[in-house]
Structure 1
Amino acid sequence: MIITLTPNPSVDRAIVIDDLRRGEVHRATSSRIDPGGKGINVSRALTAQGGETLAVMPLGGAEGHLLGDLLDQAGVAHGAVEVAGSVRMNISVLEPDGTTTKLNEPGPELSPAEVDALLTATLDRADTADWIVGCGSLPPGVPTDLYATLVTRLRDRGGRVAIDTSGAPMAAAVAARPHLIKPNHEEFAELVGRDLPTMGDVRDAARELVADGIEIVAVSLGGDGALLVTAEDTVHARATIERPLSTVGAGDCMLAGLLHGLTLGQPAAEALRTGVLWGAAAVTLPGSLVPSPADLRGITVHVTRDPDLRTVLSH
């Protein structure tokens, strides 16, 4: 069982157009809506692949009702904490070459009582979980140390915690020593406070965090794949997708696959392969659609413990 906590979920509307031109009227060629938010995407991907998961989130307003309905339709088990504000609506504009422009609302302001209820709802279910995952941005009113508090409380109870966020919430969480973090390249550079232009720079920075108490550092690198570092191992995995449709949620699917593999007892290299496979499959799908088992077919993932550390990473 993998439990996800998404403090700032969303309804995601993806709109496909031929070419984005600022200030002009566009006619969409297609559109779709999906449940959104990093942790929710992790749970959606796990559900689509037959994994056991529970998504914990605040729900409120008309968008909250829609989000709950969308999760029910997708078969995603969820534990909702009712809040006074309305869940946000995010918009992604997709172009034929895979370019994605995102417009994200801030989300509802949560009261201290609502924040406490969200933490309690997660902790009350934690004893049944192999992993508890704290994911995504924090809405207004939520203290920066929410994920750090989650890590501290779960560590005291023996829970394994993964964190995927950015900025001050990630820095605070890392200081509390979660078992696993999964930033992307830009978020990781922000976390360590320096540019990381090459594969070797990312590897070295990850080793520093591992030496400081993080068991697994997995950095998603977009088209350059992903790098996973533990005290015993450094693994790089990459899949090439010739015709990407949307990058929305691909990193979340990668994290879902990685945790799924670890839950099944796969070694780090094989779990990373699973993660990159799921993430690569997500890129072939429209909007924030998550891959089914059929979508994984035909995708080859190359895994090595000896990546070229001189590789200059794309942005």
Structure 2
Amino acid sequence: MIYTVTLNPSIDYIVQVEDLKLGELNRMKHDDKLPGGKGINVSRVLNQLNVNSQATGFLGGFTGGFIKDWLEEEGVKTGFVKISDDTRINIKLKHGEETEINGLGPTISKQEQTVFFEKMQAVKTGDIVILSGSVPPSLGNNFYEQIIAHCLEIGADFMIDTTGSELLEALPKKPLLIKPNHHELAELFGVPLKTREDIIVYGKKCLDLGAQHVIVSMAGDGALFFEGENVYFAEPIKGVVKNSVGAGDSMIAGFVGAYSVTKEPLEAFKTGVATGTATAFSTDLAKKAFINEMKPKVKLIKL
């Protein structure tokens, strides 16, 4: 089983305004409300790939109810802890360029945290736990570390999708996969990465520090995959980018979903490229038919 952990989910309230005027009445041209959160995105895409997962974390209030109902209607299994505070709403205001206003996240009590770790007892040896996104301030600085320690104790694999010191500290614990983009990789090591050769040096360093597999996404310049002594380059697929939000999460879903079935890293990377690209070319997360359409277009070069 794959478990996706989203500690600070949201409703993403997407508002389109043609000509935003601050201090005046503005009317929306269009709006959408979607379940948000990196782990939630992963579970939604895994569902399109017909790979079982359980989405877990913390949900509360009418906003949490909206997210839970949406996921269950799509067929995604959920195991969230119900909390007394409300799940946040993130506003994405589109008026030419996008302006984001993100909520801080709920206050989560010690008792609610205890219930979360009780639910994590369902994770067994051989399962995969995907840790994605931000941590609400009320959970402190080491909540991911506690989850990783539980995974190591029972023999479950974990994948972590975060940045900075949290990611660096997780590497010696041998995550199944990390997926920084090239900017995040540069930030991780505090160095400028100006060329693909620069990126390769530090992608390999992530392996040396403990990661089992590394994907470095480079937006419109493709992606690099590091496994053992090998480095592969996925050429960018041509198309119209409609949605950068969730493309990275979709790539993670494609890789982990395929790897959980086949244990073939290179085939998993191909699936990850297809799912990430399909989402980038969609208005929401990728659907199964479009993912299947992208798969034959994935071209890999061994460097």
Shared fold by TM > 0.5?
A: yes
Counterparts of residues 33-182 of structure 1 (less than 5 Å) = 33-94=33-94, 100-122=98-120, 124-127=121-124, 130-182=127-179
What are the Cα deviations for residues 185-217 of structure 1, in whole angstroms up to 9, with x where unaligned? 222222222222222222111211211221112
With over 3 angstroms needed to count, the CA separation of the structure-2 counterparts of 1:141 and 1:294, relative to structure 1, is same
Aligned equivalents of 1:152 and 1:176: distance in 2?
9
2-structure distance, mates of 1:66, 1:284: 26
Alpha-carbon distance between aligned partners in 1 of 2:126 and 2:43, rounded to the nearest angstrom:
13
Q: Answer yes or no: is the 8 Å Cα contact 1:148–1:175 preserved in 2.
A: no
The 4+ residue runs of structure 1 with deviation greater than 6 A are 19-24
Q: Distance in 2 between matches of 1:107 and 1:176?
A: 28
Contact 2:172 2:210 in 1 (8 A): no
Structure 1 residue 146 displacement after superposition: 1.8
* In structure 2, C-alpha distance between the alignment counterparts of 1:66 and 1:35, rounded to whole Å: 8
Once residues 84 and 16 of structure 1 are traced to their aligned partners in structure 2, the CA distance between those partners, rounded to angstroms, is: 31
Residue number among 278, 283, 292 corresponding to 1:281 in the alignment: 278
Taking the aligned partners of 1:260 and 1:150, their CA distance within structure 2 comes to 20
Q: Which amino acid aligns with 2:266?
A: A
Give how far 1:6 is off: 0.8
Cα deviations across residues 228-274 of structure 1 (Å, max 9, x unaligned)? 21223212213334322111111101100011121121532221111
Relative to its length, the structure with more helix (as a share) is 2
Q: Is the 8 A contact 2:157 2:175 kept in 1?
A: yes
After superposing the two structures, state which structure 1 stretch, 231-240 or 32-41, moved more. 231-240
State the Cα RMSD in Å.
2.3
Is 1:210 the counterpart of 2:207 in the alignment?
Answer: yes
Question: Match of 2:192?
Answer: 195
| Distance in 1 of aligned mates of 2:31 and 2:56 | 27
**Alignment partner of 2:138: what SS?**
coil
2-structure distance, mates of 1:304, 1:24: 53
Query: Per-residue deviation at 1:95?
Result: 6.1
Q: For structure 1, which segment, 201-210 or 21-30, has the greater mean C-alpha deviation from structure 2 after superposition? A: 21-30
Tell whether 2:221 aligns with 1:224: yes
Number of residues paired by the alignment?
A: 301
Q: Check the 8 A contact 2:6/2:133 in 1, yes or no.
A: yes
CA distance 1:180–1:262, change in 2 (3 Å): same
The CA deviation at 1:119 is: 3.2
| Partners of 1:129 and 1:185 in 2: CA distance | 30
Q: Per-residue deviation at 1:87?
A: 0.6
1:51 Cα deviation from its structure 2 partner: 1.2
Corresponding position: 1:255 with 2:252: yes
Could you tell me which amino acid in structure 1 is paired with residue 246 of structure 2?
G
1:184 paired residue number: 181
Aligned equivalents of 1:67, 1:266: Cα separation in 2: 32
Deviation per residue, 1:256-299 (Å, 9 max, x gap): 0011121121532221111111111111222xx22122122543
User: Superposed, which structure 2 residues align to 1:5-44 within 5 Å?
Assistant: 5-18=5-18, 26-44=26-44
Q: Which runs of 5+ in 1 are unaligned?
A: 307-315
Unaligned runs of 5+ in 2: none
8 A contact 1:100–1:246 mirrored in 2 = no
User: How many Å apart are 1:145 and its aligned residue?
Assistant: 2.0
Q: Which residue of 1 aligns with 2:230?
A: 233
Question: 2:173·2:210 contact (CA, 8 Å) conserved in 1?
Answer: no
- CA distance in structure 2 between the partners assigned to 1:196 and 1:219 by the alignment: 12
Give per-residue Cα distances to partners, 1:63-96, cap 9 Å, x unaligned: 1111111112222111010112111111223467
- Determine the structure 2 residue equivalent to 1:311: none
* Counterpart AA for 1:109: T
Counterpart AA for 2:211: I
Distance in 2 separating the partners of 1:221 and 1:157: 35
> Could you tell me how far apart the structure 1 residues matched to 2:25 and 2:276 are?
33
